[in-house]
Amino acid sequence: MPANMTDPAGVQRSDPLYSVVNNDKKRVAYFYDSDIGNYAYVTGHPMKPHRIRLAHSLVMNYNVYKFLEIYRAKPAVMAEMTQFHTDEYIEFLQKVTPDNMDSFMREQGKYNVGDDCPVFDGLFEFCGISAGGSMEGAARLNREKCDIAINWAGGLHHAKKSEASGFCYVNDIVLAILELLRFKKRVLYIDIDVHHGDGVEEAFYTTDRVMTVSFHKYGEYFPGTGELRDIGIGTGKNYAVNFPLRDGIDDIAYETIFEPVIDAVMKYYQPEAVVLQCGGDSLSGDRLGCFNLSMRGHANCVNFVRSFNLPTLVLGGGGYTMRNVARTWAYETGRLVGVEMHPVLPYNEYYDYYGPDYELDVRSSNMENANSYEYLEKIKVSVIENLKKTIPVPSVQMTDVPRTGFGMSDEQEDELDDLDEDENKDTRMSQRQWEKNVERQDEFEDDDDDEMAQANGIFRSNGRRPGIMDFQNPNAVDDGMEIDSGVATPAAAPTDTAVDNDETMIDETEEQAAEAETAAEEASTVQAEAEPAKTDADGDVDMAGTENKEASSEKKEADEANKKAAETDKEAAVSPKPDGAAPAGSPSNVSATVEPAPGPSSPATAAAPTDSVVKTEEEEPTKPDEPVAGKKENGAANEEAQS
């Protein structure tokens, strides 16, 4: 990017938006459904799916999307959800709405749907989007179509087999792990949410094919489970790992426990796939959290798990301060593809959410850390001792893989690719090809698909801040179009008699026409009652009174002068006239001066002196329906009268 380039927010962009830090060419599949941000729990509820849309906007505008394969997963249906949940529970979620929820009062109590887990519009569709992305990501990992799959809409770890809990209705994590177990012998689940992942632990509490590891706040805190001594039962004994923590743990303390424990798990359990739940409520300053992790401390866990080079499914979870969750998930997306993102945020449609600093980083606060070094060491040693009891690595009997895998097969995807090519023969890159395209990290030049990028919500730097005119309605009528209203356009007014106030002009025109009609009725008495209008030094109509009505003193003086002029005209009208000259106020005079009222854009000329009328007639072309002879006769009469 040029050194003098500024982005739409007015920020100087002398550095690139990201820098490559790890070029190991991992294939990363990214699942996002644009409808996810349209769902909302209820007014005032802390869970806001809109945060996923914010994170996606940052991913796109940081240009990290170039290293991702972007997919919109098919929403999970009832038959897929019931692989873990009961039929009755899923049927209830499918039927209940805010309109009919009063008729399901008994079921709401049975399935724990109410306060924390309210009924809202599109509840079942929201669950389908969340579960569909996680299950499709697991299916692509099984088919070795990618190395890492990301679904920030997933990670709802509290949902139970037949009840909702902790803002979670359908446990997409359990469904994804069940999909992975079709091909993988052992699956590791890691949870860094501030709350204990009780729903996932409960689902696999009695099996050794899934190990659950949870780092969470414990003690008078939701959900109240996750004690150190909860290690599983039966075949699953020692395969449930819980690391209870206290308030205020920071980056350094978290790193000293997370990395040794996960390293021991990898050594003793040897999983074939990993599911990582990245709940953002463990960040500092979260609305419901009590930890003190920064964005980089949180992302360090993701980067460490990535370093083991295992098929990994990365999911969202909690997180109730939207701007912090969006920053962190976007940053972690960048670390998963091997890039370090610039600390200053690029402009995006949600730019104002990140004020006043408009930076990427989420920093720790000065919160006190209640986790002493001795306490953490004691828990860590106990956890690692339990892991040693899992030796040897559990084996799995070889069986036929049951049922058809979730998602589309390779043949179905090839058919869709062929269909897309047939439908877009004249297009250099279709939407499907753009979403599947992954840019090499060693490219020296950016691609030139600006139109496609802008259509997907990416703001390009154009050196100025966007204005209100940058977002115009494409369906609006163009101002330059000629539209015939069916009304004749009035004649243009003379420049020296133009009036600014249209309403005043209309009123004066009507008054002057009425005065002219009164003069025509009194013509039989041979007394002209016509009153001349005020004139200026050039003989033109003086409209100063209409332009400035507040000059009362000048108006009074003008009225007195007009009265004197009217008396002089009356005396001249009574005096004898030469042959061929009609007296003032005669029918010929009236026919020449009384005309239809002019339009709003033309001045009043009906009662003006004759020399002004004659001057106007010389300037404008004569209309064919006007009595030209009468006007000339009237002009001669008025000239004689004035002499």
- The residues annotated with a catalytic role in the active site are 158
Count how many Cα atoms sit within 13 Å of the Cα of residue 565 in the half-sphere of its side chain.
Answer: 15
Dist. CA 335–CA 328, nearest whole Å: 10
272 contacts 310 by C-beta, under 8 angstroms: yes
3-class state of residue 191 by DSSP: strand
Dist. CA 11–CA 9, nearest whole Å: 6
Q: What are the distances in angstroms from CA 170 to CA 63, 113, 311?
A: 32, 12, 23
Report CA 350 to chain centroid distance, whole Å: 7
Question: In sequence order, what DSSP letters do the residues of 439-486 get, joined into one string?
Answer: --TT-SS----HHHHHHTTPPPP-SS---GGGS--TTSPPTTS----S
Give the residues across from 341 on adjacent strands: 18
Q: Where are the beta strands (DSSP E) in 318-401?
A: 339-341
Residues recorded for the chain: 643
Count how many Cα atoms sit within 13 Å of the Cα of residue 342 in the half-sphere of its side chain.
Answer: 19
- φ, ψ at 244 (rounded to 5°): -75, 135
- φ, ψ at 69 (rounded to 5°): -95, 115
3-class state of residue 100 by DSSP: coil
Residue 171: CB atoms within 10 Å: 31
Residue 81: CB atoms within 10 Å: 26
Cα angle value 544/549/553 (rounded, 5°): 85
Nearest to 50, CA basis, from 321, 356, 347: 321
Q: What are the distances in angstroms from CA 88 to CA 99, 123, 642?
A: 20, 16, 106
DSSP 231: -
Count how many Cα atoms sit within 13 Å of the Cα of residue 17 in the half-sphere of its side chain.
Answer: 22
Nearest to 119, CA basis, from 107, 134, 132: 107
